[in-house]
């Protein structure tokens, strides 16, 4: 993995953690909310809390899915 890909991965992980925390803060299930967003790209799955929805809209769904799969197999 190149340094640029590692930086992108690090930034995406930070963004997803921020979004995850915002979903928890609203009392919703982050797995259901994130999977709903990834499948539909409907922004209402992500709360506006702490700018989470705006941050999620900056991320590409394919990149999110690739990052989640990559981290799953690293674990």
Predicted TM-score (pTM) of the model is 0.85
Q: What is the mean pLDDT of each run of 10 residues along the chain (75 residues)?
A: 66 93 98 96 96 95 91 87
Q: Residue 19 and residue 34: Cα distance in Å, rounded? A: 9
Q: Which DSSP string corresponds to 21-64? A: HHHHHTT--HHHHHHHHHHH--GGGS--GGGHHHHHHTS-HHHH
Q: What is the pLDDT of residues 19-39, one digit of tens each?
A: 999 999 999 999 999 999 999
Beta-carbon contacts of residue 45 (< 8 Å; ≥ 6 apart): 33, 34, 36, 37
The DSSP 8-state label assigned to residue 17 in this structure reads: H
DSSP state of 67: H
């Amino acid at each position: 993995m190149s340094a640029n890909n590692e930086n992108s991965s690090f930034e995406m992980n930070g963004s997803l953690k921020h979004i995850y925390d915002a979903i928890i803060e609203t009392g919703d299930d982050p797995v259901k909310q994130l999977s709903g967003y990834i499948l539909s790209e409907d922004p209402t799955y992500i709360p506006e809390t702490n700018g989470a929805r705006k941050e999620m809209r900056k991320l590409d769904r394919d990149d999110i899915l690739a990052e989640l799969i990559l981290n799953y197999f690293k674990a």
